[in-house]
Amino acid sequence: MPPQKIKGIIFDLDGTLIDSYQAIYLSFRHVYESMGLRPLSYEEVKREIGLGLSRTFGDLLGEDRVAQALRLFDEKYQQVMDHHTFLLPDARQVLEELHRLGVKMAIATNKIGRYSRRIMKNFGLDGIFSAILGDEDVSQNKPHPEMVFLAIEKMEILKEEGLLDALVMIHAHIGSQVTDIRKIKAAVREAAQTYVQLRKLGAPLQYLNLGGGLAVDYDGSKTNFYASANYTLPEYAEDLVYVTKEVVEAQGEPHPTLVTESGRAVTAYHEVLVLEVIDVITPPGETRPAPPPAEAHPLVKELWESLETLSPKNFREVYHDAFADKETLQTLYDLGLVSLRDRALAEEIFYHIARRVYAIVRELPYAPDEFEDLEKLLADKLVCNFSIFQSLPDAWAIDQLFPIVPIHRLTEEPTRRAVLADITCDSDGKIDHFIDRRDVKNVLELHPYNQGEEYYLGVFLAGAYQEILGDLHNLFGNTNTVHVSLAPGGGYQIEHVVIGDTVNDVLKYVSYSREDLMARVRRFAEQAVRNNGMSLEETRSLLRMYEEGLSGYTYLERG
C-alpha cells in the first residue's frame, strides 16, 4: 500500500519498536529473589510476559502475591529501565519518516503507560504520537479492544475517514509455540469477545483471525514444556470452534469465519536436515595411563595416588581431591611453574579418574547433583559438516530442541555419548542440548565414529523457519536441497534437486568479484614467476586449484 494511503498506525511497543527484555528480566529476577523464589530464566520471562504485569504475576505467583510483586518490580524497573532499553534497528528512521508523511500514530501496549511514555521521551520520540497508552489507561488490557478503540479515538481516523464500514476482520496473535491449551482457549475467548463487542459498535465484522501459536511436539512428551504441546491438532481445532461458538451465540451475533496462521505447525514436518559426521574429538583418559616418572611434579604423583586408591566407597572424596589438584596444576602452569609434560600427564590421569568415577556413579540408584556434569565433560565431540548459524539458527539463538537421531546403523546399540560441533570457527557453533523424556540432556547417545566410514545424523522437524532465518556467518552458504515426494502406491520419488551455494555465490553477497579475485591471484603468481619463486607449472596448478575452489561448495567435499 502506498504510504500516502495509510491514515494511521497503532504500534505495540516491546518487540515492535523497542527491546526492553533486559530491564524486564532484571526486574523479574529482583521480584523472585526478594520473595525467596528461584528466578525465571531470561527465555522463561520472555515467554510469560505480554498480557500485562498484574495478570502475569497472578498466573505465576497467585493473586495474593500480585501487589507485592508489582511493588518489587516497579522498585527495580525504575532503576534499570533507562540503561537497559533499546530502540530496535531502523525504528527511529521509520517513525520519523511516517511522521513526515503525515501518518497519525499511537502506541497501545500492555506495558505500564508511565514507563512507556518515559521510554519514548528518553528517545525523543514521544512528540510524534497522538497517544501512548498503557496498562493503567484502560480498564482491560489487550487483546480486549478498549485500548485500541481509545487509540483510534485519539487519532480520530475512523471518524474522519468514514472507515468503520470497512472493518471486516480483526486479528489476534498470542505468540509462537504456545504449549498450553488453556492459554489458547483464554486468548480465543478474549478475541471472540472483541469480535462481539466490535459488531455491537457497528463494525460489520465477518472474519476472526486467530493468528498462530499452534505448537509442535518436538520432544514427544505431550506436556506444556516449551518443546512440546499438551494438546493435539484435533483438540486445538475443536477448542477454537467451540469457544468462539459459545461466545458469539451467547451475545446473539453471527458466527465468524475463523482464520489461522499456524506457520510453524504447517511447515515443521516437511524438512529433515542430514548431517555428515566428518571427525570426532575424544577427551583423554580412555585407557589407563602409565605411572608418572620419578621426576614428575608432586601434584601429578598425588593425582596418580588418587587413581590407585579409587573405589566405590571413596569415589566422592577422590574426585574432589583430583579436581582440586588439577585446578592447582593449571594455575601453576599459567605461572610457568609446571612443565607442559607434567600438565599433559595430569590431564591424562584426571580424565581417567573422571571416567572411573562416572562408571561408578552410573551404577548408583541416584546420581549426586555434583556429578551431573561428568557426562558432558567426558562426551565425544562429533564434528559435522554444517553451520548451525545457516541451517539450525534457532538451536543456537533460542536453544530450540530438535529430534536428532542417527539415520543408519540402527541395528547397533549407540554406546557413546556426544555433543555436536559444526565447522565454523565460532565457539557457539555447537549443539549440546538434546531431547530427553523428563527434561533436557546435555549429550546424545550415538555410535562409535569410525574414521573413514560414513556416518549420518538426521535433524527432524526442521521445516519451521530455519532455512529462511539462516545467515552467512563464516561465509557458509545454503546447503544442497532435495525435494522428495511420496510416490503413488508406496515408496518415494525425487522431484527436484537444488544445488547449494558455491564459494563464488557467497563471495558475491559480500561484494567480491570472481573476475577480480582471479586477476589478483594471477598477478601475484606472475610476479612470483618473474622473481623465480614459482615455476610455470606451479602457477598453472595454483590458478586451476583456486578457480576450482571458487566453483566449489562452501562445505567440505569428499575428494
Whole-Å CA distances, 149 to 79, 172, 197, 198: 32, 15, 11, 9
What pLDDT is recorded for position 3? 44
- Tell me what the mean pLDDT of segment 242-246 comes to: 97
State pLDDT tens for residues 469-513: 899 999 999 999 999 999 888 899 999 999 999 999 999 999 999
pLDDT average, residue stretch 323-349: 96
Residue-wise pLDDT for 108-125, tens only, equals 988 888 889 999 999 999
- CA distances 297 to 73, 243, 418, 444, 534, Å, are 54, 74, 33, 37, 50
Residue pair 495/484 in contact (Cβ under 8 Å)? The answer is yes
From 88-92, 303-307, 346-350, the region with the lowest mean pLDDT = 88-92
pLDDT surpassing 90 at residue 35: yes
- Residue 28 pLDDT level (bands cut at 50, 70, 90): very high
Beta bridge partners, 230, equal none
Cβ neighbours, 10 Å, residue 43? 13
The CA distance from 346 to 342, in Å, is 6
DSSP letters for 6-56: --EEEE--BTTTEE-HHHHHHHHHHHHHHTT-PPPPHHHHHHH-SS-HHHH
Q: Output the nine-digit C-alpha cell for 264.
A: 510453524
Query: Could you check whether the bond before residue 293 is cis, i.e. omega within 30 degrees of 0?
Result: no
Element (H, E) at 493: strand 492-498
Residue type, 483: H
Q: pLDDT digits over 187-231, tens only?
A: 999 899 989 988 887 788 999 999 999 999 999 999 989 899 999
At 373 the pLDDT is 86
131-186 tens-digit pLDDT: 899 878 888 776 677 787 788 777 766 666 666 677 789 888 888 899 999 999 99
CB 483 within 8 A of CB 495: yes
Average pLDDT, whole number, for the chain?
91
Residue 518 half-sphere exposure toward CB, CA atoms < 13 A: 14
- In this prediction, residue 390 has a pLDDT band, given cuts at 50, 70 and 90, of very high
Closest CA to 391 of 553, 496, 500: 500
Per-residue DSSP letter, 4? G
Distinct helix (H) and strand (E) counts, the chain = 21, 19
Helix locations, 433-535, DSSP H: 466-469, 503-509, 514-530
Q: Tell me how long the chain is.
A: 559
Q: Percent of the chain at pLDDT above 90? A: 72
Looking at residue 420, the DSSP 8-state letter turns out to be E
Cα–Cα distance, 91 to 87 (Å, whole number): 6
Q: Which three cell numbers stand for residue 434?
A: 538434546
All three cell numbers of 111: 506495558
The predicted model gives 332-345 an average pLDDT of: 96
> CA 387 to CA 425: how far, in whole Å?
10
Amino acid found at 532 = N
List for the chain the helix, strand, coil content (%; round to 5).
45, 15, 40
pLDDT at 330 over 80: yes
Confidence at 4, pLDDT banded by 50, 70, 90: very low
Name the residue with cell 462481539.
Answer: 196
